[in-house]
């Protein structure tokens, strides 16, 4: 072996290594060649992974909050729709109560003599039938009368108009109903106007 062949043998491995590393980015080659970054690269990767985990967790929380808010909006919308169905007739029902009041006054004011009069029986029967039919319409639409007589005063359903001295009832008991109260479903349509008992002076 002559002296000219030795450099060629040394150069052959370098060429082979270069061929193997062809296409590899220089920053990786620099890190491989320089040992100073061996400790820094893993730290950077760990930090990047931790940031990704934090971002993922935040994204999950945002999705959960968005889903909860969507659910709340949907429930509120369903409740509003249901309320609209249940209480759509509130205004009309409140207006028609005056018709019921007038019919009730008419029935109550009919004297017994007219009820027994053959000529007036048809008229009296017609008025009473109209009142009963109106009450059926109320019940069909969820409109019910507020109970009052003999019960303790309930500010949520009754409106006290006067106090009546009485030894027969506990103070605050309803002993007179001047105007009937009404509910529509579970809401107060009109409070009952009543007189309540009090202890005599």
3-state secondary structure of 9: helix
Overall pTM > 0.75:
no
pLDDT of residue 160: 95
The residues, ordered by sequence, that sit 6+ positions from 58 with a Cβ below 8 Å of its Cβ are none
The string of DSSP codes covering 77-144 is HHHHHHHHHHHTTHHHHHHHHHHHHHHHHHHHT--HHHHH-HHHHHHHHHHHHHHHHHHHHHHHTTEE
Q: What residues contact residue 164 under an 8 Å CB cut-off, 6+ apart?
A: 175, 176, 195, 196, 197, 198
**Calpha distance 146→190 (Å, rounded):** 9
Paired residues of 144 in beta bridges: 183
CA distance 145 to 154: 14
Q: Residue 174: what pLDDT?
A: 94
Structure-token pair, residue 95: 């207006």
Q: What is the mean pLDDT of each run of 10 residues along the chain (201 residues)?
A: 50 57 54 49 79 86 89 88 80 89 89 83 88 91 92 94 91 93 92 93 77
Structure confidence at residue 52 (pLDDT): 85
Cβ burial 165-181 (10 Å sphere, 16+ → b, else e): ebeebeeebbbebebbb
CB 118 within 8 A of CB 156: no
8 A C-beta contact, residue 172 and residue 196: yes
φ and ψ at residue 179, rounded to 5 degrees: -150, 130
pLDDT computed for residue 33 by the predictor: 46
pLDDT at 17 (0 to 100)? 55
């Amino acid at each position: 072996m002559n002296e000219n062949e030795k450099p060629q043998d040394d150069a052959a491995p370098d060429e082979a290594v270069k061929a193997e590393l062809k296409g590899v980015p220089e920053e990786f080659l620099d890190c491989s060649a320089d040992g100073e970054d061996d400790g820094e690269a893993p730290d950077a990767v760990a930090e990047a992974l931790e940031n990704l985990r934090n971002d993922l967790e935040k994204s999950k929380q945002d999705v959960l909050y968005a889903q909860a808010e969507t659910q709340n909006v949907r429930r509120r919308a369903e409740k509003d729709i249901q309320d609209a169905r249940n209480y759509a007739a509130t205004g009309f029902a409140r207006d028609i109560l005056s018709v019921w009041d007038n019919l009730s006054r008419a029935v109550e004011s009919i004297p017994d003599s007219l009820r027994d009069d053959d000529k007036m029986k048809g008229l009296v029967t017609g008025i009473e039938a109209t009142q009963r039919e109106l009450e059926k319409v109320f019940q069909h639409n969820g409109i019910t009368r507020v109970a009052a007589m003999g019960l303790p005063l309930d500010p949520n359903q009754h409106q006290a108009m006067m106090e009546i001295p009485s030894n027969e009832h506990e103070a605050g008991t309803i002993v007179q109903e001047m105007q009937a109260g009404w509910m529509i479903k579970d809401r107060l349509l009109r409070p009952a106007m009543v007189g309540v008992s009090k202890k005599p002076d």
